[in-house]
Structure 1
């Protein structure tokens, strides 16, 4: 494989690993927000921001951890036949089916960027009582989907290398 392809795979996987490991700590943020919400409901006035902040935190955790989950193979896969195949056959099938994933993620990213541009141009806010700006979470969503696309391309390069008898 060309050095540039190997370097691309290594950089993407290192980036997704680090971002995924940092995203794991968002569960602690989520727990803190929900704990504060419970305490505030019991002793004070319920905060307007807690539910929506918990939703935003969960979205960030899910989307930023998506590429890391793909990298670890923790994604759901129909394993009726796949697990019995040789690594070479798995790579051949994966090198074809990865295009469906890239197409889907590309469509999600296209819609996400369109929605992000709208949010930035209009100063879009949530319709809740708290009314936070929507652009920051849309930026996180676009970033996470972009990282999943890069990880999918890295998978494609790995599969092609495996088909050529090389290993990255």
Structure 2
């Protein structure tokens, strides 16, 4: 039993680290988006120059920030929640609620997104889909690939959340783990 618990803790830590790294890395794109947007406006109004590719690059970065940042946001507990009864419950009850939320909401929805987006992305790759705008960016198929990738990252983060909350619900947690989960 202890080796199973240790394995689960290690797995959750690896998943958390992966999503932490992806989230912090992709967050830098917001700064780049601001710079590129400023450049687009400056070029348009000061030099009467317009670039469809630059405009589309902002959309690509925006998509990457939201799609790849979703699991990080879930990890940090920054998604919008409607807490009617949740906050009044003890930590064990909250842990069970979170376990049920992962099992009956997060995993099925993420699995559906993964399943339903797969054909869409494969077709995009088959034709190497690019922008429909003249002068637009090639590689629309690459940005569409973030849809199933996001679903996979959410599934992984759901597994990590389930493990952490199950540890609390079953009393197999350490005080440090409890503080980390309650901070979400």
Whether TM exceeds 0.5 here: the answer is: yes
Cα distance in 1 between the residues matched to 2:152 and 2:73: 14
**Per-residue deviation at 1:37?**
0.8
**Per-residue deviation at 1:82?**
0.7
5+ residue gaps in structure 2? 178-184
Worse-superposed segment, 132-141 or 87-96 = 132-141
Cα distance in 2 between the residues matched to 1:93 and 1:149: 17
Q: Which residue of 1 aligns with 2:43?
A: 40
Cα distance in 2 between the residues matched to 1:146 and 1:30: 25
Cα distance in 1 between the residues matched to 2:137 and 2:63: 17
Cα distance in 1 between the residues matched to 2:147 and 2:36: 20
Q: Which residue of 2 aligns with 1:52?
A: 56
TM-score w.r.t. the length of structure 2 is 0.85
Q: Which residue of 2 aligns with 1:21?
A: 24
Residue pairs, 1:87-98, within 5 angstroms: 87-98=91-102
Residue pairs, 1:16-165, within 5 angstroms: 16-42=19-45, 43-99=47-103, 100-129=105-134, 130=136, 132-165=138-171
Cα offsets for 1:66-96 (capped at 9, x unmatched): 1111111111111111111111001111111
**Per-residue deviation at 1:111?**
2.4
**Per-residue deviation at 1:4?**
2.2
Alignment: residue pair count: 168
TM-score w.r.t. the length of structure 1 is 0.93
Cα distance in 1 between the residues matched to 2:142 and 2:114: 15
Q: 1:20 to 1:131 in 2, by over 3 A?
A: closer
Q: Is the 8 A contact 1:60 1:141 kept in 2?
A: no
Q: Which residue of 1 aligns with 2:10?
A: 7
Worse-superposed segment, 127-136 or 4-13 = 127-136
Runs of 4+ in structure 1 deviating by more than 3 angstroms, as ranges, are: none
